[in-house]
Amino acid sequence: MNKEIIFISGASRGIGLSMANYFADAGHIVIGTSRNNFKFENNSANLIPIKLDITCRDSVKNCIDSLKEKNLIPSILINNAGITSDQLFLRMKDEDWDAVVSTNLTGTFNLSKALIKNMLKNKFGRIINISSVSGLMGNPGQVNYSSAKAGLSGFTKSLAKEVGSRGITVNSVAPGFIETDMTSFLDCDAKNEIVKDIPLKRMGSTTDVTLLVAFLISQEASYITGQTISVDGGLYMY
């Protein structure tokens, strides 16, 4: 595909970092964000780290205005930033709900709203929303997280129908259990219990997710939109 400017939220670690490095190595300019100050270990000139709180609309606006001044408006948006605050529903605090929904769902709205006008103008764009298998099948202790990720599916379908005629595709990727910081707290016994329910008998890697996203933003996937595609080793089939 042509060399593009790609915006990835939550790019300082895990799946986001894997995607950032992959696309930068492929020659794309990658703008990666995190709510904390960070630097990419990869010294590629194609990687641009930015501190950004995607839940703050003023911060998002200021970020996009700055990118416009530098002629760095992305044609591809990957909404990857996400947090968890797990707790059984009866013990879940209001702030646990608010923080997770604000980052995982409202943050996606904020970035998409800020960047889609330029895509509409150019009649080309790709939006990829990183969801989760938890949003498809539910998960005990994750009512907040599962609700936010399930919301991304409706967001993806509705937006895809609105902007498809302008050459913009909108898709969602739903990873299962991937070896990242978010699963690093699991001990060996817990991981073995999870793997028992996965037909492929292993947890996924960040590369497994990255390669699917790479396909979805490519020209080869230009007729795919409004879909939620799982990368979970067969954990949830529907």
Residue 145 is a catalytic residue: yes
pLDDT for residue 216 = 98
Q: What token pair was written down for 112?
A: 């998409």
Distance CA 179, CA 186 (A): 10
The yes-or-no verdict on residue 85 having pLDDT over 90 is: yes
pLDDT in tens, 5-27: 999 999 999 999 999 999 999 99
Residues 6 or more apart whose CB falls under 8 angstroms from that of 209 comprise 15, 18, 19, 130, 173, 175, 178, 231
Q: What is the pLDDT of residues 45-61, one digit of tens each?
A: 999 999 999 999 999 99
Q: Which of 145, 223, 236, 238 is catalytic?
A: 145
Distance CA 203, CA 64 (A): 36
Cβ neighbours of residue 158 closer than 8 Å, sequence gap 6 or more: none
List of domains in the chain: 5-231 (3.40.50.720)
pLDDT at position 217 is 98
Cα distance between residue 2 and residue 97, in whole Å: 40
pLDDT for residue 182 = 65
Q: Is the pLDDT of residue 139 over 70?
A: yes
Question: What pLDDT score does 189 carry?
Answer: 78
pTM metric for this prediction:
0.96
C-alpha–C-alpha distance, residues 170 and 60, integer Å: 20
The closest alpha carbon to 117, from 173, 65, 172, belongs to 65
* d(C-alpha 8, C-alpha 80), whole Å: 6
* Percent of the chain at pLDDT exceeding 90: 92
| Average of per-residue pLDDT across 187-207 | 90
Q: Note the pLDDT tens digit of each residue in 160-194.
A: 999 999 999 999 999 999 998 767 667 787 788 88
